[in-house]
């Protein structure tokens, strides 16, 4: 294992640059050549490769986004597309791969390994924290902190004007950002994809708050909630209750950007070093995770066949604190 390719794929997440930096520096430490692959699988198919050294990754630890860029590749989802990627890897003498991304990235590398035998290790880089086999994914902590900072600012104006704010956070299939931001931000209700919340239940809860002279309320909505988007839910609530002046804020891609927190920097750095070491030790077809503060190595079949749900205890705590 002398030449290792590193790339980022799917949605960007704060801490990806820290992971790239760790892979490059650990690779050099262990006398490996590290090749950066631009634009994920798209760049792999096109041979968009560049050798990386210590200077390539200087001053990126604190930066959000990814210096290697990211893209979603429809072509790579086909056997023909993966065959093109393999030819490029072979042409550039790449012995193994380290990919940083979500479940789609992991799935792509698994198919490439099964079809062409390229060893790989995946690092979980996604703000949604929706990948089994790890307590935390790279970017989740930063995204949640960004959401909480925005919620704190919105609460100031909500208190000033007796307003009900619906705040939509990211989480198409996962409520991890929503439930944690809801607890930290003092939300009266959190609506997530993993749980069904009826409009009548929500209106009842809001009316109870009105009886206790609550001058404002915040409802956190994950973008993939079963009850609809924040805009749709706000409209339905408005039709059933006129107690609050109702407003909607959609945080959107704001949560993807910004400097990674110390936690995401350290997590990404540890995982990056572990990825180089595990490839050198012959591990492959695995995703590195952190469980109870220890690095673990998850086989594809063990984790990609099961969903990761929000902890029931987090839901219980959120409901207790929302009275």
Residue 323 forms part of a structural domain: no
Quick check: 4 and 98 in contact, CB under 8 A?
A: yes
Residue 308 forms part of a structural domain: no
How far apart (Å, rounded) are the C-alpha atoms in residues 77 and 100? 17
104 lies in the same domain as 170: no
Residue 50: partners with Cβ closer than 8 Å, 6 or more residues away: 35, 36, 38, 56
* Domain at 28, CATH number: 3.40.50.450
Q: pLDDT value at position 211?
A: 56
Active-site annotation, residues: 128
173 lies in the same domain as 268: no
Q: pLDDT value at position 306?
A: 82
pLDDT band at 212 (very low <50, low <70, confident <90, very high): low
121 lies in the same domain as 264: yes
133 lies in the same domain as 145: no
10 is known to lie in a ligand binding site: no
39 is known to lie in a ligand binding site: no
Final residue belonging to a domain, choices 221, 238, 256 = 256
For 242-276, what is each residue's pLDDT tens digit?
777 889 999 999 999 999 999 999 999 999 999 99
Please give the span between the terminal C-alpha atoms of the chain, in angstroms, as a whole number: 57
Residue with token string 């492959």: 284
Q: What order do you get walking across the sheet with 3-8 strand by strand?
A: 49-52, 33-37, 3-8, 96-101, 120-124, 286-291, 294-299
Instruction: State yes or no: pLDDT of 241 exceeds 80.
Output: no
Q: What is the CA radius of gyration of the chain?
A: 22
Q: The domain containing residue 8 runs over which residues?
A: 3-139+260-303
Residue 320 forms part of a structural domain: no
Q: Span 218-230, mean pLDDT?
A: 90
Say what the alpha-carbon torsion angle 173, 179, 184, 189 is, to the nearest 10 degrees: 120
pLDDT band at 204 (very low <50, low <70, confident <90, very high): confident
126 lies in the same domain as 273: yes
Residue 318 forms part of a structural domain: no
Residue 276 forms part of a structural domain: yes
Q: pLDDT value at position 209?
A: 63
242 lies in the same domain as 269: no
Residue 319 forms part of a structural domain: no
131 lies in the same domain as 159: no
104 is known to lie in a ligand binding site: yes
For 103-148, what is each residue's pLDDT tens digit?
999 999 999 999 999 999 999 999 999 999 999 999 999 999 999 9
Instruction: State yes or no: pLDDT of 51 exceeds 90.
Output: yes
Average pLDDT, the chain: 92
What's the token pair of residue 263? 């936690």
Total count of domains within the chain: 2
pLDDT band at 189 (very low <50, low <70, confident <90, very high): very high
Say how many CA atoms lie within 13 Å of 266 toward its Cβ: 9
How far apart (Å, rounded) are the C-alpha atoms in residues 18 and 25? 11
Residue 44 forms part of a structural domain: yes
64 is known to lie in a ligand binding site: no
Q: Span 213-240, mean pLDDT?
A: 85
* Domain at 196, CATH number: 3.40.50.460
The residues that bridge with 291 in the sheet, in sequence order, are: 294
Least trusted range by pLDDT, from 3-12, 133-142, 219-228, 266-275: 219-228
244 lies in the same domain as 171: yes
195 lies in the same domain as 286: no
119 lies in the same domain as 218: no
34 lies in the same domain as 122: yes
216 is known to lie in a ligand binding site: yes
Residue 315 forms part of a structural domain: no
100 lies in the same domain as 168: no
């Amino acid at each position: 294992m002398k030449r290792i390719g590193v790339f980022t794929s799917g949605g960007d997440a704060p801490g990806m640059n820290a992971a790239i930096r760790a892979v490059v520096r650990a690779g050099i430490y262990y006398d490996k050549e590290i090749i950066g692959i631009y634009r994920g699988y798209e760049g792999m198919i096109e041979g968009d490769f560049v050798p990386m050294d210590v200077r390539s990754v200087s001053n990126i630890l604190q930066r959000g986004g990814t210096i290697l860029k990211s893209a979603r590749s429809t072509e790579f989802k086909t056997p023909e597309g993966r065959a093109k990627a393999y030819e490029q890897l072979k042409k550039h003498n790449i012995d193994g791969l380290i990919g940083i991304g979500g479940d789609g990235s992991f799935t792509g590398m698994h198919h490439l390994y099964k079809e062409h035998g390229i060893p790989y290790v995946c690092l979980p880089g996604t703000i949604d924290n929706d990948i089994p086999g790890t307590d935390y994914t790279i970017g989740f902590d930063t995204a949640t902190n960004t959401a909480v900072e925005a919620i704190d600012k919105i609460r100031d104006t909500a208190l000033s004007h007796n307003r009900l704010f619906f705040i939509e956070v990211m989480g198409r299939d996962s409520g991890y950002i929503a439930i944690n931001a809801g607890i930290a931000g003092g939300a009266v209700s959190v609506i997530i994809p993993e749980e069904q919340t009826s409009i009548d239940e929500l209106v009842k809860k809001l009316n109870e708050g009105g009886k206790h002279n609550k001058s404002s309320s915040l409802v956190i909505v994950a973008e993939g909630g079963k009850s609809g988007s924040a805009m749709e839910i706000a409209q339905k609530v408005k039709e059933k209750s006129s107690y609050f002046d109702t407003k909607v804020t959609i945080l959107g891609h704001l949560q993807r950007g910004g400097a990674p927190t110390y936690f995401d920097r350290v997590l990404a750095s540890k995982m990056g070093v572990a990825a180089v070491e595990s490839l050198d030790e012959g591990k492959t077809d695995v995703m590195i995770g952190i469980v109870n503060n220890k690095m673990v190595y998850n086989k594809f079949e063990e984790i990609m066949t099961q969903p990761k749900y929000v902890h029931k205890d987090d839901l219980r705590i959120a409901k207790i604190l929302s009275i």
